[in-house]
Amino acid sequence: MKLLNVDSVSGAKDKLSHYFADLSLDHEEIDTCASLGRVAAADIISPVPLPEFQRATVDGYALHAKDTFGVSDSLPVFLELIGKVEMGEVTQLTVSSEQAVYVPTGGMIPKGADAMVMLEYVEQMDTGTIAVHRPSAPGENVIMRGEDLKEGTCIIKKGRRIKPSDIGALAGAGIARIKVFEKIRVAVISTGDEIVDPFGSVPLGKIRDINTYALANMVTEAGGIVTFKGVLADDFQGLKDQLLSLLPDNHILIISGGSSVGQKDVTAQVIDSLGPPGVFVHGVAVKPGKPTIIGRAGDTALFGLPGHPVSAIIIFKIFIETLMNQMTCHKGRENISLMAIADANIHAAPGKETYQPVLIEKEDGHNLAKPIHGKSGAISLMTRADGYVRIEQNKEGIKKGEIVQVTLL
């Protein structure tokens, strides 16, 4: 019977990787400057060493470290000052033993020198002589050519979502364009005779559309592009026609509502009517979100999410974001979690993997996870939540005081 034989979350995730293993994305080359949030489609190799020449990391004097061994305030070494390095200029100077050259922070280390001593530890005796009061070790206060990054080594790994600091590193290596995965194209549809445009006047009995707006923005946040947003009635043919027109141009179609087994719940039948393999998950042992549907038609993944907004949002996180990460070889590091102390008992739904929204509060330097209770139709649950706690299927629940892992939303 429908919805009685449900998959576990891990079983459904296994099916997800199996059924969508061959879904691939095209690559495109874009300007590095416009790559924030995109996912690298191949390892990016640095064509140059970083830094490209040996540089000082302090203001001071380049010298031979061994000339300073054993020196102190009472027993300084006197070195011949043979010149200075200008910022951004190549130096032709060569430092021999018992000589020194002034170098500003970031300046080029002249040939022969193997260390920098900070100017605080140096006394200028006259224009051609300095006294050094501190010993320095070879390599001290110097960054070697290629120490940051060797030429030909990987600067950004395939599957990494590009962050601002990555764009800085790519600029530092002179890489103007990079290969990224094309954006995942996603259509978001809400179904239900009662669902209406949220921003107009709403007759009693109708419901303002929440899911389209929440889910479309989750797609954007996960790095996808929303190609279509719309509300459809609970009508088999209308939904089928719409999905057929969206199939060719989308990687993922999300349909919220109508996922259960009521008389008007047509999502599963419509997905099955689009072509093989059709629906391969209908029902997951998860709370919230039990009536979840996952299917495939041609090269498009289809998700039927429960209409209750909290369920739709949690199921997006569990399955759709997982697929989007799988398609871009991305490890999903955005799912940052933190450890917290449960501030109250958290009940688990028997036989289901439970996702409990929580609020994080700091107390005496500890993170407290405060469960936010409410029905899965209550969107305000999510507007108060900082994250959620996952309770495994066979665990009875969480006791107040237990350490829990909170996935941040």
Q: Are 328 and 179 in contact (CB under 8 A)?
A: no
* Sequential DSSP letters for 111-127: BT--EEEEGGGEEEEET
Q: According to CB under 6 A, which one of 288, 309, 357, 371 is a site residue for ligand MOO?
A: 288
**Least distance (Å) from ligand MOO to the CB of residue 306?**
4
Q: Is the dihedral of CA 54, 59, 62, 65 positive or negative?
A: negative
What is the 8-class DSSP label of residue 28?
A: E
**Least distance (Å) from ligand LQZAQKY5 to the CB of residue 348?**
15
Q: What tokens does 53 get?
A: 């020449």
**Least distance (Å) from ligand MOO to the CB of residue 348?**
13
**Least distance (Å) from ligand LQZAQKY5 to the CB of residue 354?**
13
Distances (CA, A) of 102 to 58, 121, 389: 11, 13, 58
Cis link prior to 288 (omega < 30° from 0)? yes
Which partner in ligand LQZAQKY5, ligand MOO, none is near 223 (CB below 5 to 8 A by kind)? none
* Sequential DSSP letters for 67-132: GGTT--SSS-EEEEEEEEPPTTS----BPPTTEEEEE-TTPBPPBT--EEEEGGGEEEEETTEEEE
- Residue 311 touches ligand MOO, criterion: CB under 6 A: yes
Q: Strands 387-391 and 300-305: what pairing?
A: unpaired
- Residue 354 touches ligand LQZAQKY5, criterion: CB under 6 A: no
Cis link prior to 135 (omega < 30° from 0)? no
- Residue 55 touches ligand LQZAQKY5, criterion: CB under 6 A: no
- Residue 289 touches ligand MOO, criterion: CB under 6 A: yes
- Residue 292 touches ligand LQZAQKY5, criterion: CB under 6 A: no
Task: Decide whether 78 or 236 has the Cβ nearer to ligand LQZAQKY5.
Answer: 236
Q: What tokens does 74 get?
A: 């009472």
**Least distance (Å) from ligand LQZAQKY5 to the CB of residue 210?**
4
Contacts (CB under 6 A) with ligand MOO, residues 268-287: 287
Which partner in ligand LQZAQKY5, ligand MOO, none is near 160 (CB below 5 to 8 A by kind)? none
**Least distance (Å) from ligand LQZAQKY5 to the CB of residue 287?**
8
Q: Under DSSP, is residue 226 helix (H, G, I), strand (E, B) or coil?
A: strand
Report the DSSP beta bridge partners of residue 77.
Answer: 132
- Residue 322 touches ligand MOO, criterion: CB under 6 A: no
Which partner in ligand LQZAQKY5, ligand MOO, none is near 300 (CB below 5 to 8 A by kind)? none
Burial label for 126, CB within 10 Å (0-12, 13-18, 19+), is exposed
Instruction: Indicate the residue whose CB is closest to ligand MOO.
Output: 311
What is the 8-class DSSP label of residue 162?
A: P
Letters for 370-389 (x = contact with ligand LQZAQKY5 by CB under 6 A, - = none) are: ------xx------------
- Residue 306 touches ligand LQZAQKY5, criterion: CB under 6 A: yes
Burial label for 334, CB within 10 Å (0-12, 13-18, 19+), is middle
Letters for 337-376 (x = contact with ligand MOO by CB under 6 A, - = none) are: ---------------------------------------x
Task: Decide whether 60 or 288 has the Cβ nearer to ligand LQZAQKY5.
Answer: 288
Interface with ligand MOO (CB under 6 A): 287-290, 306, 308, 311, 376
